[in-house]
Amino acid sequence: MVEARHDLMAQHGGQDAAQEEAPRRASVAAALADPAGALAERLGPGPHALIVLFAGEGAVLPQVLAGLTARYPRTEILGCTTAGEIGEDGYAEGHLVAIAFPASSFAVETVVIDPLSAIDSRRMVARLQQARLDLSRHADRLRHELALLLVDGVSGEEEFLIASLSGGLGPMPIVGGSAGDGHNFSRTQVFRGERVHDHAAIVCLIRSRMVMRTFSFDSTMPSRRQMVVTQADPARRIILRINDEPAAAEYARLLDCPLDNLGPELFATRPVLVRVGGRHFVRAIRDVGPGQSLLFFGAVAEGMVLTLSAETDIAAHLERALEGLSRDARPSLILGFDCVFRRIEVETRQRVAEVSALLARHRVAGFSTYGEQINGMHLNQTLTGVAFYPDGAGWA
């Protein structure tokens, strides 16, 4: 089923100041007695066209969503579960992070795709085209547009989904993240209003007065060590053999480490890369599977050539990348989808305080994902997102 909702942008004048047009972020501990009330106090009464909520471990979703919808009955509220959050102070855990988009400068249309396993591409394309047309009609004065995607992170459907969305959205930029479940990799959820979905995705089409610049940063670099996938199960994202040896054993040999040492820390700090279109992209390893296989978060195939990544400085790269977003104008806010394995790498290298300070200084809000999407690609181990700028300030 693909379900769409038309949300008219509330008419509200007198908020022409850039700070009043910009998205506003707030974060609170999920364990508070009334976390929805605490969020609402920090976000203000609005009117808001959209509130995006990222819910960390410990959040009682029915309570939180009921509280927010009661306080914002005319606002589109949507979001997902996380593998960690990015709030005002950088990395956080067990928090709720909310971003409110003022109705004076934003308008939205939302499409829910449920279930992912029964996507009818032709019908979905038609629904997306209609939603985009409806949004254009009632928000034609807002000239910048974007599609925000949140998807079940353990579905394994991201590649097919993003390809289908591209057919329905045309030139509209797409950016998003795969929902998380802490480090459990078991059950991830997306939600809209008070309804929580498993094995589903939410596409929110946005038009704005603000300039919205998408980006994707990847700090990894290729080493000279390569390997060939000689047996794989692409449907389940599993590599069984590398260089005609059990995949996990061969990966460990190339790392010069015992097989028993393989785990999230090594997967995060020494991922494997695949070269596509002249660029290297991470294929994040999820776990060691039966028979010394390797389970992945992205597409794999027999004959694929993988390159072991080299050691890099993730904090220094992040500082340069975020400074680049502020070169011509400083973003009012950056919505970031940060792969959980980047977070694990930061923790392993004991750079949490440094990276958190960078994220806070550059006004990044978002969550740690099981994968990221930008335009027609599903990625791993990136910081992908969108920066919001006042119209006419730097980026056109």
What pLDDT digit, counting tens, does each position of 372-390 carry? Answer: 999 989 999 999 999 999 9
247 plus 363 within the same structural domain: no
pLDDT(15) > 50: no
Least confident of 93-107, 116-130, 338-352: 116-130
pLDDT for residue 396: 45
User: Taking residues 58-82, what's their average pLDDT?
Assistant: 97
Same domain membership, residue 379 and residue 243: no
Question: DSSP per residue over 237-292, as a string?
Answer: TEEEEETTEEHHHHHHHHHTS-GGG-SHHHHHHS-EEEEETTEEEEE-EEEEEGGG
Q: Is residue 58 part of a domain?
A: yes
CA dihedral 116, 122, 127, 129 (to 10 degrees): 130
Q: Residue 294: pLDDT above 90?
A: yes
Residue where one domain finishes, among candidates 309, 339, 368: 309
pTM for this model (two decimals): 0.91
Sign of the alpha-carbon dihedral angle for 336, 158, 211, 327: positive
Q: What domain range is 41 assigned to? A: 2-217+316-389
Do 69 and 182 lie in one domain? The reply is yes
Domain match, 135 and 213 both: yes
- So what's the pLDDT on residue 329? 94
Residue 378: both structure tokens together:
């599903």
pLDDT of residue 10: 39
pLDDT band at 391 (very low <50, low <70, confident <90, very high): confident
Q: Are residues 266 and 324 in the same domain?
A: no
What's the rounded Cα separation, in Å, for the pair 214 and 221? 22
Q: Please tell me whether residues 98 and 193 are part of one structural domain.
A: yes
- Could you tell me if 241 and 191 lie in one domain? no
Report, as an integer, the average pLDDT of 332-348: 97
Residue-level pLDDT at 108: 98
What is the distance between the alpha carbons of residues 191 and 135, in angstroms, rounded to a whole number? 21
Mean pLDDT of 232-249: 97
Compute how many other C-beta atoms are within 10 angstroms of the C-beta atom of residue 114: 20
User: What phi, psi does 278 have (nearest 5°)?
Assistant: 85, 0
3 has a pLDDT exceeding 90: no
Residues 227 and 212 in one domain: no
pLDDT at 14 over 70: no
Over residues 265-279, the pLDDT tens digits come to 999 999 999 998 888
- Does residue 130 share a domain with residue 37? yes
Do 19 and 167 belong together in one domain? Answer: yes
* Number of structural domains the chain divides into: 2
CATH code at position 303: 2.40.30
Is 382 within 8 Å of 204 (Cβ atoms)? no
